[in-house]
Amino acid sequence: MIPADLSGIQRIIRRNKRRDLIFAIFGFVALLIGVLTFLALFLQMAFAGWERLTPDFFTSFPSRRAGQAGILSAWVGSVLVMLVTAVSAVPLGVAAGVYLEEYATRSWVTDLIEINVTNLAGVPSIVYGLLALGVFVYAFGFGQSILSAGLTLGLLILPVVIVATREAIRSIPQHIREGAYALGATRWQVTRDHIVPYSMPGILTGVIIGMSRAIGETAPVITIGALTFIAFLPESPIGPEFPWVNFDWLKSGFTVMPIQMFNWTSRPEEAFQQNAAAAGFVLVLMTLAMNAISIWIRYHLRKDIKW
C-alpha cells in the first residue's frame, strides 16, 4: 500500500510532468509554424525570381525595361548605409550600455534614462524618419544623403544595442569583477580587460539583430528622401591620393534594397514582380549572411572565454 501523502505527491508530479509536456509541445508547434512560414516565403521568392538571379542582375542599374533592370545601385547603397549605421550606432550603443551598467550610480536620473531607452526600442520607425528629416536633413544640412540615412538607422537600432549590451554585461559572474579588483585592477581595467571581452558574444548578437532590422527598413529612408530610381553609384570611399580615403560618398543620393523592391512591386507587369522577388531573395540572403557571421564570431569568442 502506498501512503496517502506519498500518493498525493506522485499525483502532483504526474500533473506537473503533463503540464511540462503540453508546454513543450505548444512551444515546438509555435516554433514550427514560424520556421515553416519563413521557409515558405523564402522558397516562394526563390522560385519566383530564380531566373533573374544572373550576374547582370547584380551589375546593372534599374531600368524601365524589366529584363534589363538590376540592383547594382540598390545593393551598393544598402552596404554603404549599413556601414554608416554600424559606425554611428555600435560604438555609441556599447559605450552607453557599459556606462549604465558599470559606472552610473543608481538614481532617478539613471532610472529615467533606462525607461526611455527601453521605450525607444519599441517606437515605430516612421517616427525616427520624421525626426531625422527635421534634424539631419534640414537642421544639420546633411541633405537627402547616405549620411542622413545611416545616422537615421543608427538612431533606430541604438536602443537595441544598448539593451543587448546591458543584458550581456549582467550575465557575467560577479566573481570576475571581485577577483580583478582583489588583484588591484582599476574599474577601467576591469571593464576593458574582462567585462567587455567576456560580454562580446552577447553584444554581437544584439548588434546583428539591430543591423538585420535596419537593412530591411523602408519608412525612415523614404521619409528622408531615398530615391526610387537611381542610375549612378556614389563616389568610391577609397581615394586616389593619400590618405586614400574619400568622404564625398557620404553626401551622395542613394537608394536601398527595400526601396527598389517597393518600386518594382508597385508596377503591374509580371516581369517587375519577378525582379522584386529576386531582390527580396538577395536581401534575405544578406540578412542570413550577417547572422551567420555573428554566430561564427560568437562561437569562437565563447571558446576562448574561461570563467
206, 160 in Cβ contact below 8 A? yes
Mean pLDDT throughout 265-272? 84
39 and 119 assigned to the same domain? no
The pLDDT score that the predictor gives to residue 33 is 92
The pLDDT score that the predictor gives to residue 152 is 92
**Backbone dihedral angles phi then psi of residue 40, each to the nearest 5 degrees:** -65, -45
Domain count of the chain?
Answer: 2
Mean pLDDT throughout 216-238? 80
153 and 31 assigned to the same domain? no
Q: CATH number of the domain at 187, please.
A: 1.10.3720.10
* pTM to 2 decimal places: 0.83
The pLDDT score that the predictor gives to residue 306 is 56
pLDDT band at 153 (very low <50, low <70, confident <90, very high): very high
Higher pLDDT, residue 163 or 306:
163
- Asked whether residue 237 carries a pLDDT value surpassing 70, the answer given is yes
> Domain ends where: 12, 31, 52?
52
Q: Which domain holds residue 99?
A: 54-304
| Other residues' Cβ atoms within 10 Å of the Cβ of residue 93 | 25
Distance CA 94, CA 89 (A): 8
228 and 266 assigned to the same domain? yes
Cis? peptide before 243, omega within 30° of 0: yes
Distance CA 135, CA 302 (A): 40
Distance CA 203, CA 298 (A): 9
Mean pLDDT throughout 164-180? 87
Distance CA 49, CA 261 (A): 12
96 and 32 assigned to the same domain? no
**Backbone dihedral angles phi then psi of residue 267, each to the nearest 5 degrees:** -100, 145
Instruction: Report the mean per-residue pLDDT for the chain.
Output: 84
Higher pLDDT, residue 255 or 243:
255
Residue with cell 571593464: 191
DSSP annotation of 183: T
66 and 32 assigned to the same domain? no
| Other residues' Cβ atoms within 10 Å of the Cβ of residue 36 | 10
